[in-house]
Structure 1
Amino acid sequence: MSTEISARRPSHRLRRAMVLAAAALLASSTATACGTETAASGTSSDTGRPSAPGTGGTTGGTAGNGNTTPGQGSSPGSTSGTPSTPSTPTTPSGGPRQVRTAVYFLHGEKVSPAPRTVTAPTTAAGALRALLDGPNRYERSHSRTTAIPSGTKLNSVVVDRHIATVDLSGRYDDGGGSLSMQARLAQVVFTATRFPSIHKVQFELDGKPVTAFGGEGIVLDEPVGRADFEDLSPLVLVESPMIGDTIRTPVRVWGTANTFEATLRLKITDAAGRTVANPYVTATSGTGTRGTFDVTIPYKATRSGAGLLTAYWDSPEDGRAVIEDTVPLTVKR
């Protein structure tokens, strides 16, 4: 007795059954649960989002924090010529795909990005969980803080038409005055919108939509984006390189700015304390409208080691340097 394998196409009824079975399997594999995301296409825009190209994940996950130092763990990266864009995938041999992104802490009273690595396909939720973990020891030693109450948990993230609905535990709105409340909202919004697939955020607390946040009654009756927190963004926001990164010449620096006549300066200081680059940079807009900048800066360091990137602009009144942010780096010769 022999078995014959037919090369003929399946009947119409059989093909339809196969399609329905495949659709059911796909639907079951993408069902949302606690800490997961779904994504749908759509169009939206929000000024102040990172402009550099990148691939952003749209499905949730976890990320560790740890007390890392430059060159270890999830904090630092290497920036030479073409650094990480909003979210850059890497694939360790034989392991799950890793995505380098950013979480936003506070430097003074302004948001400031710090690098994290999350596991695909759960990238946005992973980044938000890393944000809730707070700054690591190295970042705290360089004055990075958080306004988010300790113990805040992420319940879920759902992404639909470029809007992320972020459900957090009730601990998120505990305590704090108006500035603290605004800052913790901004931290979540900037972290989520680092991914190109997310333009705005809708907040929920323990599954209930938030229309007024905290005792200050901050109105959240519609999704919010980066432009809604302009007061909490430095006039020059360097998106890359980030705190703890290692740079080599030439280094690509990109971000957003809202300075007088769109002019700013980016000073690189090496381990010897010597200024090795200090170019003028022009953003796409300024003087009340946030624009973007993306430049490649050559430099010649005298010594490798701990250095600094200082973003500032010259006052039109007296020419003094108005420092907007400082980014601690490892500067290579």
Structure 2
Amino acid sequence: MRRTLAPLLVLALLVVGTAACGGDGSDDAKASTTTAAQTTTSAADTDTSTTAAGGHDHGGGIETEGTKVLQYWVRGDKLAVGANGVDAGTTAIGTGALERLLEGPARADALSGMTTLIPEGTELLGLDISDGTATVDLSSTFVSGGGSMSMTLRVAQVVFTITQFPTVDRVVFHIDGAEPEGLGGEGLPTSYDGRSGFDDVTPAIVIESPTPYQNVSSPLTISGMANTFEAVVNWSVSSTEGSLLKEGTTTATAGSGTWGTFEVETELPAYQGNVVVTVWEQSGETGSDRTNVYEVLVNLT
């Protein structure tokens, strides 16, 4: 089985090949949305190592220094997941995650086509986490410019980034030290109970681990969140040339209108180089069509 790599990932490979570095940050910051789910693997979970040409080095991985935290960016009109490093010895992990978010996408995430709708120059004036509520105080630049979609996405970026931590289940926005009546000219709510209310800007399946250009090894763990029919999530790992290394099916903790989490661990055949981790949902009368496709390019060592 061979698949054509998405044009965006092909372009990213051409760019990263000019100046790449190795290594992988530790994953000490555990996201609340990537807890282990009950996993089932179908008979399609078949080793196809005979199709792997092996050793196609397109520049390797991109190092994340410090404690790894997730950031939620924008790709197209949906959220996408990237990562950066925080010096947990000098910065509180939640503060560091938001500060990295305000700085814009890291190189690996930018190469993967991710951007931000948070206006440049937005400052984090304060972060207080108490009794499960994170109060995020941002400068007024945050609510400047853009329309309703732009404002919704930038708010979602902040909410998803801070709720990766299990100590946060509610987010309240302050602007310049006070809670406004609404956010921006659109008057978006200033408080959010977790990640609910953002279905329009959230892909039906999201990979939260691994993250773009992360160095990975076998066995590989793929985890994230999904809202699919009967909670079914299909996955595969392929070379960048389209040769299938492994594929299977797993079940999220919830689905069919309710968000759940998924996690699958799989042994991969011997291979070194960039590979594409893909998740998708089957559709159509025969179940042969792929929808809600989400891809992450990583470096298999």
TM-score after normalising by structure 1: 0.69
Does the residue aligned with 1:171 lie in a helix, a strand or coil? helix
Residue 262 (str. 1) matches residue 213 (str. 2): no
Residue 130 (str. 1) matches residue 100 (str. 2): yes
Equivalent residue, structure 1, for 2:251: 282
Measure, in 1, the Cα distance between the counterparts of 2:93 and 2:29. Answer: 15
Deviations 1:219-246 (A, max 9, x none): 32x3442112122221111111111211
Residue 172 (str. 1) matches residue 142 (str. 2): yes
Q: Say whether the 8 Å CA contact 1:69–1:244 is kept in structure 2.
A: no
Measure, in 1, the Cα distance between the counterparts of 2:132 and 2:82. Answer: 23
Equivalent residue, structure 1, for 2:123: 153
Question: Which of the residues 276, 280, 286 maps onto 1:312?
Answer: 280
**Which segments of 5 or more consecutive residues in structure 2 lack a partner in the other structure?**
1-18, 33-64
The number of residues matched between the two structures is: 248
Q: Aligned-pair distance for 1:323?
A: 3.7
Q: Aligned-pair distance for 1:176?
A: 0.7
Q: Structure 1 stretch 197-206 or stretch 106-115: which is displaced more?
A: 106-115
Q: Aligned-pair distance for 1:313?
A: 0.8
Does the residue aligned with 1:165 lie in a helix, a strand or coil? strand
Bigger relative contact order, structure 1 or 2, given CA contacts below 8 A and separation 6+? 2
Aligned-pair identity in percent equals 35
Q: Aligned-pair distance for 1:211?
A: 3.1
Equivalent residue, structure 1, for 2:293: 324
Does the residue aligned with 1:112 lie in a helix, a strand or coil? strand
5 Å-filtered alignment, 1:162-201, equals 162-201=132-171
Please say which structure displays the higher CA radius of gyration: 1
**Which segments of 5 or more consecutive residues in structure 1 lack a partner in the other structure?**
1-67, 88-96
5 Å-filtered alignment, 1:75-114, equals 76-77=24-25, 85-86=30-31, 98-114=66-82
Q: Aligned-pair distance for 1:114?
A: 1.3
Q: Aligned-pair distance for 1:191?
A: 0.6
Measure, in 2, the Cα distance between the counterparts of 1:201 and 1:294. Answer: 26
Residue 295 (str. 1) matches residue 295 (str. 2): no
Question: Which of the residues 209, 215, 234 maps onto 1:240?
Answer: 209
Q: Aligned-pair distance for 1:77?
A: 4.0
Q: Aligned-pair distance for 1:216?
A: 1.5
TM-score after normalising by structure 2: 0.76
Measure, in 1, the Cα distance between the counterparts of 2:247 and 2:148. Answer: 37
**Residue 145 to residue 266, structure 1, CA distance change in 2 (3 Å):** same
Measure, in 2, the Cα distance between the counterparts of 1:78 and 1:305. Answer: 20
Q: Say whether the 8 Å CA contact 2:206–2:226 is kept in structure 1.
A: yes
Measure, in 2, the Cα distance between the counterparts of 1:233 and 1:69. Answer: 30
Equivalent residue, structure 1, for 2:113: 143
**Residue 325 to residue 211, structure 1, CA distance change in 2 (3 Å):** farther
Measure, in 1, the Cα distance between the counterparts of 2:264 and 2:179. Answer: 41
Does the residue aligned with 1:266 lie in a helix, a strand or coil? strand
Does the residue aligned with 1:253 lie in a helix, a strand or coil? strand
